[in-house]
Chain A
Amino acid sequence: MTTTAPGPGRSPTRERPEPPRRRPLTLRRRESRAGLALVAPTLLVTIAVIGIPIVWTVVLAFQRVRLATLRKTGLFGDFTMDNIDRVLHTPGFAETLWVTLVYSVGGTVGSILLGLVAALVVRRPFRGRTLVRASMLLPYVAPVVAVTFVWQVMLDPQLGIVNAWGQRLLGWDAPVPFLSQDSTALTTVIVFEAWRYFPFAFLFLLARLQAVPGELEEAARVDGATPTQRFRHILLPQLLPVIALLGVLRFIMTFNKFDDVYLLTGGAAGTEVVSVRVYEFLTARTDIGAAAAQAVVLAVVLIVFVLIYLRFFGRRVS
């Protein structure tokens, strides 16, 4: 972090005593100014497009705002708890939270497990490894709209290949509407999530695996450890910190996810996650206040979960 900067390391305390007037700026202070100037555009964009909106969402959550009355509503004033109240008591609130939680945990665990297996099998060089590795990243880099659309068609009851083969080879009596019936939709969405995001875990775990010194495993082999024992006692302990970090990263990202569920099911058939619900409030009902309140609830719940997680795994993550 503290790489030595090019300027001479004059300690700040020595500069402090009132520099005589008209003395040119010290290098240290010029450096500080240059730093602020160079980072200013980044900060400006971040504050304008992300910082202010976050604060504004919180303000909107406590105001009565609809798209139609937007221009009349002032930025401040008329604060009310109505939105929060309405959000908490709109039918389906608890269910949405539960679905989001199941979806996030399922997607996180699934993608990390798949990523771990993938990293273990392509760890050692073999012919065509580069190509295999690149192909494994495809689900992650491809446009979400394209892959959700392909999945929709693949799973379609009439013209999907999954149902065609399921009926032909596995003897299914009737086509299964995977994405539109309650009993399968959530599972399907979670499987999609694991499929699309395992490359993320795969990349991190592979990088870590390749940093494990070869002597460690060699020594264990000499001591008579079998491959599974070497994995259990040598590799896994090395990977655990990365897995813990991936756990929190993937959980947060999945919890916030909108695109995947919205595009696959539109939130139907018991797959409505919180961000899809926010979107519904915002566009279908044009109730900005309720949407903001729902979004704030999302953020608060997320922060609580992350804090709980850090409490249990904090030492590993840091």
Chain B
Amino acid sequence: MDRDVVETVSLRWLRRLVIAAFLVVTVFPFYYMLVLSVRPIERLLLDPGALVVGFGELTVATYAEVLKATDDGGQGFLTFIRNSGLVAVAATVLTLLVAIPGAYAVARLRFFGRRQVDFLFLAVYLFPTIVIAIPLFVAFSLANLRGSLFGLVLVYISQTLPVSVYMLRNYFETIPVSLEESAAIDGAGRLGIIRRVSLPLAMPSVMAVALYDFMIAWNEFLFALLFLVDKPNRWTVSLGLSLLADGVEVPKTVLMAGSVVLTLPIVILFFASERLLTEGLTSGAEKG
């Protein structure tokens, strides 16, 4: 047998094996999360190696406990969900409001400093977050903004802006200029052109950016920890889960239910829009 045949055949099998391995490694932790969230803690302690939920041990009491308000003996995750949702939606909407005109300008208009803007975004994107966190912590303490969700929204906008502008800019550049010119000849002003021509055409990209912003804001941890730690009724889901996981009093299975609650919205959003997102994120990757 020549080398080509040997390699082709063995690689074909190796490839299937590797795909299976990747699937197991990436999906298993999420499966495990789900399984633990519906098992009672006593059963978990007895048999920590179980891969499936045993017959008759399925329970949703964990979810009830994690979601119920603290006054009713629960962990208050409903409040956390409300906080997270509020912050993430507000941050997404505001980021888009700021990013769309900005991205349009960088893509289409010649103005002083347009090239520097590009560099600025890259630098901001790659700069250590913890460096920014210190003065913000100080400033928010001074302005009594610590513990307010508004401050958090403001920080999230700044964190998602660079990538949002970058992704939208790439998309705006693919829209033919002639379309905008004809609108201009028909008497549309600059804002009219953006609203009536460019924006509708850029809708897929706007959706992708919105999803990206929402995910970043929903998942964020460091700033939530720095700003909200003293106010349990303002905690986001991420913060609440991490702080409760530090203690020993809440059973792990109940917290697993909490992490399912935290993960599920993101996974659903992601699978619903996977193609949109991956294409949005890598558009421009070919420039390498």
Binding site for B on A (CB under 8 A): 1, 3-7, 28, 31-36, 38-39, 41-43, 45-46, 48-50, 52-54, 56-57, 60, 65, 67, 70-71, 117-118, 121-122, 130, 132-139, 141-147, 149-154, 156, 158-161, 163-165, 168, 195, 203-204, 206-208, 211, 224, 226-228, 241-242, 245, 249, 252-253, 255-256, 258-259, 263, 275, 278-279, 282-283, 288, 291-292, 295-296, 298-299, 302
Contacts and interface: CB of A to CB of B under 8 A. Distances in A.
A118 B165 CA distance: 29
B19 A121 contact: yes
B29 interface: yes
A146 B134 contact: no
Query: Which of A7, A49, A242, A278 has the most B CB atoms < 10 Å from its CB?
Result: A49
Given A53-B135, A134-B270, A165-B49, A253 B282 contact: no
Given A42-B99, A142-B263, A35 B111 contact: yes
Given A132-B19, A245-B288, A299-B128, 7 more contacts: A36-B111, A43-B117, A136-B22, A139-B26, A160-B48, A227-B8, A292-B134
Nearest to A256: B128
Contact of A226 (B4, B32, B215): B4
Given A32-B112, A145-B262, A256 B11 contact: no
Interface in B95-126: 97-99, 101-102, 104-115, 117, 120-121, 124, 126
B213 to A, nearest CB: 13
Interface residues of B, number: 104
Nearest to B240: A145
B138 A288 contact: yes
5 closest cross-chain pairs (CB), A and B: A35-B111, A164-B49, A35-B109, A42-B102, A49-B158
Contact of B126 (A33, A70, A253): A253
Nearest to B12: A227
Contacts of B135: 52-53, 56-57, 60, 292
A203 B238 contact: no
A53 B130 CA distance: 11
A210 to B, nearest CB: 9
B134 A57 contact: yes
Given A46-B120, A207-B285, A256 B44 contact: no
A291 B137 CA distance: 11
Contacts of A28: 110
Interface in B207-233: 215, 218-219, 221-222, 226
Interface of B: 3-4, 7-8, 11, 15, 18-19, 22-23, 25-27, 29-30, 32-33, 36, 44-45, 47-49, 51, 97-99, 101-102, 104-115, 117, 120-121, 124, 126-139, 141-142, 154-155, 157-158, 161-162, 165, 173, 177, 180-181, 184, 190, 215, 218-219, 221-222, 226, 237-239, 241-242, 245, 252, 255-256, 259, 262-263, 266-267, 270-271, 274-275, 278, 281-282, 285-286, 288
A99 B47 CA distance: 36
B222 A143 contact: no
Nearest to B130: A275
Contacts of B33: 146, 150
Contacts of B36: 153
B158 A46 contact: yes
15 contacts: A3-B177, A31-B111, A38-B104, A46-B162, A49-B136, A57-B132, A117-B22, A134-B271, A144-B221, A146-B241, A149-B242, A153-B36, A164-B47, A227-B8, A241-B288
A112 to B, nearest CB: 14
A278 B134 contact: yes
Contacts of B161: 42, 45-46
